[in-house]
Amino acid sequence: MFVEVVTRDISELNLPKNTSISFPNGKDDLMSFEIVIRPDEGYYMSGSFGFTFQVSPSYPHEPPKVKCKTKVYHPNIDLEGNVCLNILREDWKPVLNINTVIYGLNLLFTQPNDEDPLNHEAAAVLRDNPKMFEANVRRAMAGGYVGQHYFPRCA
């Protein structure tokens, strides 16, 4: 049953123009795929951010597991790649789908949320000093240190 749901969700994807999808294990494995988001506005413009999706047999009753493969300075993504997006946790409902999650991830790059952070340090800088936050994002995306953490180039 859930394979049909995933197959339908994948076939009905309406990806934003700045987002691409790939299937590293081949088109036969729809349960594991990757997307790349290249924001075209905001703090993260011109960056390239990869995410892995693992869809469990409980889908659509539980959300896909999503990890960010790109180390990024972001209030809602920690340095281990965990993503803080409400629809991946308490706000998930079976009527939501993979497309909804992809749009939610895109929204994190255009509207980072300092009120529900995983990276509290980045959230505090975004809240208290947006200009410094922007400088930190640029430094991280260019490949450099922000505080004690090195970020590989992703822009």
* Each residue's pLDDT tens digit, 64-84: 999 999 999 999 999 999 999
| Dist. CA 11–CA 62, nearest whole Å | 20
Residue 53 half-sphere exposure, CB side, CA atoms within 13 Å?
Answer: 26
pTM as predicted: 0.95
Alpha helices in 33-129 (DSSP H): 98-110, 120-128
pLDDT given for residue 41 in this prediction: 95
Task: Judge whether 84 counts as a catalytic residue.
Answer: yes
Q: For 97, phi and psi rounded to 5 degrees?
A: -145, -175
pLDDT given for residue 1 in this prediction: 67
Which candidate in 77, 84, 105, 126 is catalytic?
84
| Dist. CA 60–CA 93, nearest whole Å | 8
Q: Could you give all domains of the chain from N- to C-terminal order, each with its CATH number?
A: 2-151 (3.10.110.10)
Which residues in the chain come in under a pLDDT of 70?
Answer: 1
